[in-house]
Amino acid sequence: MKRTTTRLADGRELIYYDARDDAVRDALDRRPLPPAVSVSEVRHNPLLDEHVGYAAHRQGRTYHPPADQCPLCPTRGDSLSEIPAADYEVAVFENRFPSFGGGRGRCEVVCFTSDHDASFAGLTEEQAALVLHAWTDRSAELAAHPGVRQVYCFENRGAEIGVTLAHPHGQIYGYPFVTPFTERALRAAAAHKRRTGGNLYDELVAAERESGRRVVLETEEWTAFVPYAARWPYEVHLYPRRRVPDLPALDEAQRAGFPAVYLELLRRFDRIFGEGAGPTPYISGWHQAPFGIEDRGDFALHLELFTIRRSRDKLKFLAGSESGMGAFVSDVLPEAAADRLREVATGK
């Protein structure tokens, strides 16, 4: 695999990832862009002990452009985009409208393919492996960024989720703080270790594997299951069999086994609600250990995949209890969700 780093017209970094070592990426960004400036801000809420980011400049970001004006497609003739090359495999660049920046964090866009009409579920295993390589490389590099405490590689998919660009892509947030969900998980894991001496992540995964009731897919290297206390109508957590804290720590066998497992999960998600229901909207993201914490190796890297759709024509809205109090009430039992995700396995 080959990595080629260049700069866009406003100074932002652009990185191409290619499967072939002889790929040449020398196209220049011909747009007359002013220098990139970030005006984001982070504030701390002492009552909830959590951070909130403010990025008012994002109000002007690109919103549902026509397909022929997509900023994530390759540059073709006079149709200039964020990707100067006439074609690409995987491309990562600094977000033009970042949620965090200016030395306090970093936000990047990951284009999974140059094909505007594709989806991650439609990629080949080789293409998915290249995306995993990009996620891993970016996670390792952002670990050395002085303003980053935690790296989150994620994909928002579907208009129902709030996606404003239809091109298949994801994002990488280098948060300048440890996120609230991770803080809570770290506290729970630390308390469990003090009480029992064991690793909470290991025990949760072992219990799911032993029961098998909510396991939807299992290989020699990976286990996917609907968690016992899932928040979302259809939610799957994917763990490597051997605990590691982050993507760079995966071994070769784990990397080799990931594409087939993940693509199968995404394809099952698209079949949950039956033929004609359209692509299932989802959020998928890698939970990685923050930097600069004690016992970082106790954290378990895992991917969480979930949809806000609860039936063929209904969405799960975060209303009074969820938004106002952070207390989830779900419409689908985790066991029923697991049954459905097994029913729609490829070939059945």
Is 73 annotated to bind a ligand? Reply is yes
**Running along the chain, 348 residues long, what does each successive block of 10 average in pLDDT?**
96 97 95 86 93 79 80 95 97 93 91 97 98 98 95 96 94 97 97 98 98 97 98 97 98 98 98 93 98 94 97 93 94 96 85
- Spatial separation of the C-alpha atoms in residues 136 and 153, rounded to whole Å: 9
Task: Supply the CATH classification number for the domain 2-175.
Answer: 3.30.428.10
In the structure encoding, which two tokens stand for residue 336, read together?
Answer: 């029923």
Is 287 annotated to bind a ligand? Reply is no
Instruction: Return the pLDDT at 317.
Output: 92
Instruction: Return the pLDDT at 347.
Output: 60
Inter-residue contact 265 to 282 (CB < 8 Å): no
Ramachandran category for residue 202: left, alpha or beta (phi over 0 → left; psi -120 to 50 → alpha): alpha
Instruction: Return the pLDDT at 55.
Output: 84
Nearest in space to 236 (alpha carbons), one of 222, 254, 220, 252: 222
Q: Is 237 assigned a catalytic role? A: no
Instruction: Return the pLDDT at 102.
Output: 78
Q: How many residues can be counted in the chain?
A: 348
Instruction: Return the pLDDT at 319.
Output: 92
Instruction: Return the pLDDT at 15.
Output: 98
Inter-residue contact 173 to 152 (CB < 8 Å): yes
**Active-site residue (options: 169, 237, 287, 302):** 169
Inter-residue contact 280 to 307 (CB < 8 Å): yes
Instruction: Return the pLDDT at 132.
Output: 98
The DSSP string of 156-223 is EESGGGT----SSEEEEEEESS--HHHHHHHHHHHHHHHHHSS-HHHHHHHHHHHH-SSEEEE-SSEE
Is 116 annotated to bind a ligand? Reply is yes
- Spatial separation of the C-alpha atoms in residues 171 and 155, rounded to whole Å: 6
Helical (H) or strand (E) element with 3: strand 2-7
Secondary structure of residue 340 in the 3-state scheme: helix
Is 111 annotated to bind a ligand? Reply is no
pTM of the model: 0.95
Instruction: Return the pLDDT at 261.
Output: 98
Domain with CATH 3.30.428.10 in the chain: 2-175, 196-343
User: Would you tell me which CATH number, out of the four given (2.160.20.10, 3.40.190.10, 2.40.110.10, 3.30.428.10), belongs to the domain 196-343?
Assistant: 3.30.428.10
